Amino acid sequence: MYNAAQLAAQLGHKVISAIEFGVAGGNGLVAAERHAREITRELGVEFQIYGFDCAEGLPTPADYRDLPFVWQRGFYPMDQEALSKRLTKAQLIIGNVRQTCAAFFALHDPAPIGCMFWDLDFYSSTMDAFQIFEGECKYFLPRLSMYFDDIMGIECSDFTGERLAMADFNARSRHAKIARDCSAGFQHFPHVWKHKMFVYHNFAHPDYCRFVSSNIQQPPLRRLSAKIGGT
């Protein structure tokens, strides 16, 4: 969320959206609201927050790609009434992601999406939700910070679950790709998270090539020390 707000500020956006796919009990949305308040105080960028979930727990696994030996129908149900009372600004988008993602932009007209948290567990559900990327460029920042929860562990592989969904998306998409966040290894958060951070690159976005770096590109020439052997 912080990375998304930084990019938004550099591009002149005052409001952006954060999305969680797979809300379950809702702790993630509650935390997102807290982080949004902190980031807004520091960077001045406001957040709209949306949480997608069917509220009834996981659906029936479609096939082996959904890892039915790990997850079963009904896991992670939501107490929608209790969660709604805890939330102050996040909106719940309830229903099958195949339908709710298709109607999302027309119904909600969100601010540009800057980050996404993926916790749908299944290959099938993740692929269904990837259709959100079919929205117009105005609904996205050119690069999205993303977290994929279910890609680690002995039960996971490149041929099932969210990891396969990412690979299939990249194989089918010409102008947009999901890549690992190469800066994650240098961040100060739990080690396992460093392997779960990704960036969605939309190379066709009109702002993708817009210069946003704040780095000084030409450092001054260092003066040599008069001392022999000095640097």
Answer yes or no: is 182 within a domain. yes
Answer yes or no: is 108 within a domain. yes
| CATH at residue 168 | 3.40.50.150
Q: What are residue 53's DSSP bridge partners?
A: 94
Answer yes or no: is 213 within a domain. no
Answer yes or no: is 230 within a domain. no
pTM of the model: 0.89
Number of structural domains (the chain) is 1
* pLDDT tens for the chain, residues 1 to 231: 999 999 999 999 999 999 999 999 999 999 999 999 999 999 999 999 999 999 999 999 999 999 999 999 999 999 999 999 999 999 999 999 999 999 999 999 999 999 999 999 999 999 999 999 999 999 999 999 999 998 887 888 999 999 999 999 999 999 999 999 877 655 666 666 677 899 999 999 999 999 998 766 666 777 776 665 555
Answer yes or no: is 221 within a domain. no
Answer yes or no: is 223 within a domain. no
Answer yes or no: is 228 within a domain. no
**Helix or strand run (H / E) with residue 177:** strand 176-180
Domain enclosing residue 132, as ranges:
2-202
End-to-end CA distance of the chain: 41
